[in-house]
Amino acid sequence: MILVTGGAGFIGANFVLDWLAQSDEPVLNLDKLTYAGNLENLASLQGDPRHVFVRGDIADGELVTALLRQHRPRAILHFAAESHVDRSIHAPGQFVQTNVQGTYTLLEAARAHLATLDAGEREAFRFLHVSTDEVYGTLAPQDPPFSETTPYAPNSPYAASKAASDHLVRAWHHTYGLPTLTTNCSNNYGPFQFPEKLIPLMIANALAGKPLPVYGDGQQVRDWLYVGDHCAAIRRVLEAGRPGEVYNVGGSSEMANLDVVGSLCDILDRLVPAAGSRRKQISFVADRPGHDRRYAIDARKIERELGWRPAHSFAAGLEDTVRWYLAHQDWVSHVQSGAYLEWVERNYGKRGDAS
């Protein structure tokens, strides 16, 4: 069995679904079910004995210790995190609690768990920490992409909390010998992404005839990674990664936010024709504080050492993503609760028009 934290969220749920589609090894899924954790993401696993779900907090040391004692997983895959930059600006304390304190609690529980295993089990055990490229800071247009040796320079409360968790993971390996693996990924997109992130938000607003709010001039560049490719990378790192190592995972698809939104409009115009181009719905709003200008990932290490590279081009992945959201409008309406709508209004409604 493997333990997955945050397995009802966007990336975690995709990983659990992919894992059980390819393996009969059971998954113990620990998720607090905060605003972005949604058991509806895992509806297809209802009644499947290979999926054991526990609602709980990764910062609850007693619970985590009890689960490790009962289920004795061979690996912990740590996805659970507060992850939205805008939310971290409004409420940074929760990010410190979950991303820093929660990771510390998991590491200590894993260290105690490792001591209970026999020699063969200890040799095979892994703690895989899923992190982000945002820990590296921002890049100028001509800067080389982030590599695994790029100095950390986080610029948002979210990025700082993830950087802190990365440092804890590194320290627990070097000080205590915990067999850790860390992955730093670029911007994920795909099915089940909570509709406050750029791509699903724009799809929902475009279909509803609402404005498409783009920060600043829309020229912030991100490297886009299809979530299925990310899941494949994590499986490969778990299988063959070297303990103590960091692996950057990117999609080799740098795009400016405005170009992403324009591409979405074009796909929707083709699949769901409207009276006019949805590009007319694009609305520029005041930029968020400290908005990083560019991220880019150098993923040559994971390709060279583990043979992984993304299978999806951005164009193909984006088309698949739009088609998924069009086919799952019930899922979208269910997650667009009153709390979600209040958040969108609070975050975007008061920014005003920046054009």
**Active site members:** 133-134, 158
Helices (H), 227-328: 227-240, 257-271, 300-306, 314-327
DSSP 8-state secondary structure symbol assigned to residue 134:
G
Could you give the 3-state DSSP secondary structure of residue 74? coil
Q: How would you list the strands of the sheet with 126-132, edge to edge?
A: 51-55, 27-31, 2-5, 75-78, 126-132, 180-185, 246-249
CA–CA dist 42, 51 (Å, integer)? 9
Are the CB atoms for 71 and 30 separated by under 8 Å? no
Tokens of 213: 């709010």
Q: State the amino acid at position 159 in one-letter form.
A: A
CA–CA dist 166, 248 (Å, integer)? 13
Q: State the amino acid at position 41 in one-letter form.
A: N
DSSP 8-state secondary structure symbol assigned to residue 185:
E
Helix (H) or strand (E) holding 335: helix 329-335
In the block, tokens 């590296």 appear at 136
CA–CA dist 75, 62 (Å, integer)? 19
90 CA to centre of own chain:
19
